[in-house]
Amino acid sequence: MPSAGTLRLPGRLHFGFGVRAQLPALVAGRRVLAVVDPFLKGTPFFAETVGALDDVRVFDDVTPELPVDSLEAALVDGDTPEVIVGIGGGSALDAAKLIALLSTHDGPLSRYYGENLVPGPCRPVIALPTTAGTGSEVTPVAVVADPARAVKVGISSPFLVPSVALVDPELTLGAPPSVTAFSGIDALVHAVESYTARQFDLDWTQPVPVFTGRNALAESPAVQAARQLTRWLPTAVAEPGNRRARHEVAHGALLAGIAFGSTGTHLCHALQYPIGALTGTPHGLGTGLLLPYVIRAISQDRAIAARLTDLFEGDPVSFAAELNRAIGVPATLAAIGLDAEQLPRIAELALASRRLIAIAPVEPSHGLLLDILERAHAGDLT
């Protein structure tokens, strides 16, 4: 186990059925901008939660791709919010974090692409996730789609960690099976990639990077997250109203977010960004699809293979592949519309994601990434 660790978390973090009731007291007396998924408007939950706030303006132009221009439109001259409340899936929470950034520091957003470029604290964000997967409510990163870039880009800074996270499993009860499956498997990828992250030799006399690689404080949350998700995610997908399953999956996803928010993620995510851009498929579908193939690749290192046995019952590759089958994640890249001719370019784009590639536990190369892609395209796990 590493001898040192780093965690950056919200100042307040509440988990459990009903914790959303804390929201009115947390924002009392302050002007609120509520950034919400558009499908939530008109629901009883929206009326109960947002309707209970005294001084609130609602912004619901949130799309899965999160175009950068739409975020700038959320701010109205002369109506600067004092607190941002993000309610929804990962895109809504990322939008809230980036709107908080833009309401505090001069734009454009592109000046902050990368790591540690946000100059200081942002408007406080209170995050209420309605899906169990992204971990955005506790992480220092937000991802946007910029038409000037071939793939999505990230802004990573400790100043993007929300001030408060209210993780109420009841808010996930309305999620359809596909959303539950793809967000939940993405959470498992977070746990796996956190636990298998490369260990860095940090110089503590220098500024600490946003993502520190494997660290002692993230080990236990990653293991617990993987165990809860592998056990309960199939039940949550098959029985959407099962409150115990929803509780366990939401808890596992939160723990995975706590873990990877410090360590970072690696190969599944590096490969998924160009794949998602080319296919328009959900992020979690892509990372989950790739998981068995990435596990196979990194398991060639015996030390990593040994670590993976902490997370899975039996053979990790077979277990991950069977879990995907059980919850409806496609087994191959061909099944989501990619041609074999596209794979070398995807490997090239993934290799350019230096932040992610650097955290991989094996030495990344174009050849390694292409081998993962070719096996994932053909469904070859041998």
308 and 190 within one domain? yes
Lowest mean pLDDT among 143-152, 218-227, 351-360: 143-152
145-161 burial code (b ≥16 CB/10 A, e <16)? bbeeeebbbbbbbebbb
Q: How confident is the model at residue 80 (pLDDT cuts 50, 70, 90)?
A: confident
Co-location of 185 and 168 in the same domain: no
pTM beyond 0.75: yes
Pairing of β 32-36 and β 83-88 = parallel
Q: Are residues 257 and 296 in the same domain?
A: yes
Domain count, the chain: 2
- Cα separations (Å) of 236 from 114, 254, 319, 322? 35, 16, 18, 16
Residues 164 and 184 in one domain: no
193 domain residue, yes or no:
yes
Answer yes or no: do 80 and 128 share one domain: yes
Domain final position from 115, 144, 172: 172
Query: Within a domain: residue 218?
Result: yes
pLDDT band at 77 (very low <50, low <70, confident <90, very high): low
Count the Cβ atoms, other than its own, within 10 Å of residue 345: 12
Boundary-marking domain end, from 138, 172, 206: 172
Nearest-CA neighbor of 263 among 307, 300, 211?
A: 211
Asked whether residue 366 falls in the same domain as residue 272, the answer is yes
| Total residue length of the chain | 382
270-327: per-residue pLDDT in tens?
A: 999 999 999 999 999 999 999 999 999 999 999 999 999 999 989 999 999 999 999 9
125 and 225 inside one domain = no
CATH of the domain at 166: 3.40.50.1970
Would you list the DSSP string of 97-143?
HHHHHHTTS-S-GGGG-EES---S--S-EEEEESSSS--GGG-SEEE
Q: What is the pLDDT of residue 148?
A: 80
Q: Do residues 290 and 164 both lie within one domain?
A: no
Domain end point (choices 138, 154, 172): 172
Q: What CA–CA distance (Å, rounded) separates 178 from 183? A: 8
Looking at residue 66, its pLDDT comes to 81
| Pair (154, 260) in one structural domain | no
Indicate if 298 and 315 belong to the same structural domain.
Answer: yes
Do 218 and 362 reside in the same domain of the chain? yes
Residues 356 and 269 sit within 8 Å (Cβ to Cβ): yes
User: 339 Cβ partners below 8 Å, 6+ apart?
Assistant: none
On whether residue 151 sits in a domain, the answer given is yes
Domain with 267 in it:
177-378
- The domain that contains 283 carries what CATH number? 1.20.1090.10
Instruction: Please give the average per-residue pLDDT across 234-239, as a whole number.
Output: 98
Report if residue 5 sits inside a domain: no
